[in-house]
C-alpha cells in the first residue's frame, strides 16, 4: 500500500513538473492548431510574421518585467516610460521644424541613445526608491506611471512627434534578410536576457534575491543593488520598446503605451514566473507574449470584438496565477 502511495505521489510530481516546464508550450501549440482550423489565413507566412511583429513590443517589455518580478517586485510604469522614451527619441529624429529639438534631425545613434537613457533614468528612480528607501514597488511604479506620462505630455506639448527620419524608422519598419527589425530586436533581447539569467553571477543573484532575500544577504549578495538594477533593466527595455513602437507607426504619440504594463505582466505570469519571486524563466515569458499575440490575432481574424480579447486575457492571467498558487501550496 505504501509502495502504491509512493508511486502515485511520484507520478503526480512528474506530471506537475512536466506541466510547469511545458504547459505553456502545449497551450500555445493547442491554440495554434485550433485557430488553423477556424481561419484559413492563420498559418500563412504573412500572418505568422504579423503575429511575431505584434508580439515584439510587448515581448521586450515583458522580458524587462521578468527581471523585476523574479525579485518579488512589479513595474507598473513601463507603458508610460515607453511613451516618454519614444517622444524623446523622436524629437531628435524628426524633420518637423515644430516638433523637433534644436538642430533636429540628429544622428540616429544620438536619438536611440537618448531614448534608452530616458528609460534607464526612470528605471533608476524606481530602483532607488524601492531598494534604498523601501517604498513598496506597487506605489513607486504607480507614481512613475503618472509622472512619466505627465513628463511625456509636457515635453511634447501634448502633440505627436511626426516626420521621423528613415534611419530611425528602420528599427520599426526595416528588415534584414526578410526578417522585420522588431522581431530581430525582440530575439536579441531574449537571447541576451536568457544568457544573463542562466549563465552569469548577476542572474543567480536575481533568483536568490527573489527566492530568499534574507539568505541572499547572509551569503554576501547585495540585494539592494540587485533590486535597483532590475528596475534599470526594465526601464531601459521599456525605452527600447517605446522607440520601436514610434518607429513602426512613424509618429511618437504621447498617449502611446496606455495599459501596456498589463500585457507585459500577463505575459510574464502566463509564462510561469512566480509573483512570489525566485521562480521563472525568460523562455516562459517569450511563450507567454506569443500566446497573447496569437490569441489576439486569432480573435481578430474571426472578427471578434476587441472587448472579448480583454476578457480572454483577464481569464488567462487569473488562471495562471491560480496555477502558481496551487504549485506553491503543494510544494
pLDDT at residue 24, rounded to an integer: 87
Dmax over CA atoms of the chain, in Å, equals 82
Is CATH 1.10.3470 the right assignment for the domain spanning 40-330?
Answer: yes
Question: What's the whole-number average pLDDT of the chain?
Answer: 91
Kindly tell me if the per-residue pLDDT of 89 is higher than 50. Answer: yes
Kindly tell me if the per-residue pLDDT of 74 is higher than 70. Answer: yes
pLDDT at residue 10, rounded to an integer: 60
Give Cβ neighbours of residue 6 (< 8 Å, ≥ 6 apart): none
pLDDT at residue 314, rounded to an integer: 83
Whether 239 contacts 81, CB under 8 Å: yes
Running DSSP on this structure, what letter comes out for residue 164? B
pLDDT at residue 18, rounded to an integer: 59
pLDDT at residue 290, rounded to an integer: 96
Share of the chain above pLDDT 70, in %: 92
With H, G, I as helix, E, B as strand and everything else as coil, classify residue 94.
Answer: strand
Helices 282-301 & 45-70, crossing angle to 10 degrees?
A: 140
* Alpha carbon distance 24, 152 (integer Å): 36
pLDDT at residue 1, rounded to an integer: 47
Amino acid at each position: 500500500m505504501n509502495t502504491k502511495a509512493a508511486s502515485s505521489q511520484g507520478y503526480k510530481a512528474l506530471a506537475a513538473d512536466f506541466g510547469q516546464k511545458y504547459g505553456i508550450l502545449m497551450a500555445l501549440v493547442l491554440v495554434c492548431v485550433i485557430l488553423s482550423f477556424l481561419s484559413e489565413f492563420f498559418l500563412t507566412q504573412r500572418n505568422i510574421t504579423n503575429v511575431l511583429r505584434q508580439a515584439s513590443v510587448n515581448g521586450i517589455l515583458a522580458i524587462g518585467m521578468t527581471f523585476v518580478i523574479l525579485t518579488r517586485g512589479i513595474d507598473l510604469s513601463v507603458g508610460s516610460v515607453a511613451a516618454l522614451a519614444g517622444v524623446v527619441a523622436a524629437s531628435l529624429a524628426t524633420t518637423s521644424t515644430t516638433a523637433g529639438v534644436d538642430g533636429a534631425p540628429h544622428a540616429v545613434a544620438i536619438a536611440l541613445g537618448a531614448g534608452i537613457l530616458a528609460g534607464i533614468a526612470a528605471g533608476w528612480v524606481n530602483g532607488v526608491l524601492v531598494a534604498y528607501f523601501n517604498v513598496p514597488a506597487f506605489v513607486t511604479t504607480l507614481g512613475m506611471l503618472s509622472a512619466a506620462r505627465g513628463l511625456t505630455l509636457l515635453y511634447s506639448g501634448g502633440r505627436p512627434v511626426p516626420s521621423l527620419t528613415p534611419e530611425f524608422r528602420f528599427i520599426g519598419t526595416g528588415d534584414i534578410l526578410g526578417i522585420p527589425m522588431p522581431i530581430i530586436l525582440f530575439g536579441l533581447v531574449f537571447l541576451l536576457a536568457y544568457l544573463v539569467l542562466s549563465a552569469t553571477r548577476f542572474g543567480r543573484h536575481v533568483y536568490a534575491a527573489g527566492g530568499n532575500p534574507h539568505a541572499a544577504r547572509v551569503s554576501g549578495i547585495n540585494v539592494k543593488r540587485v533590486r535597483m538594477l532590475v528596475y534599470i533593466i526594465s526601464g531601459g527595455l521599456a525605452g527600447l520598446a517605446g522607440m520601436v513602437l514610434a518607429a513602426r507607426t512613424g509618429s511618437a504619440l504621447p498617449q502611446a503605451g496606455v495599459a501596456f504594463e498589463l500585457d507585459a505582466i500577463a505575459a510574464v505570469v502566463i509564462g510561469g514566473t512566480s509573483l512570489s519571486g525566485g521562480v521563472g524563466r525568460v523562455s516562459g515569458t517569450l511563450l507567454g507574449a506569443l500566446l497573447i499575440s496569437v490569441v489576439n490575432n486569432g480573435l481578430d481574424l474571426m472578427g471578434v470584438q476587441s472587448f472579448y480579447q480583454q476578457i480572454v486575457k483577464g481569464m488567462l492571467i487569473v488562471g495562471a496565477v491560480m496555477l502558481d498558487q496551487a504549485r506553491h501550496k503543494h510544494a
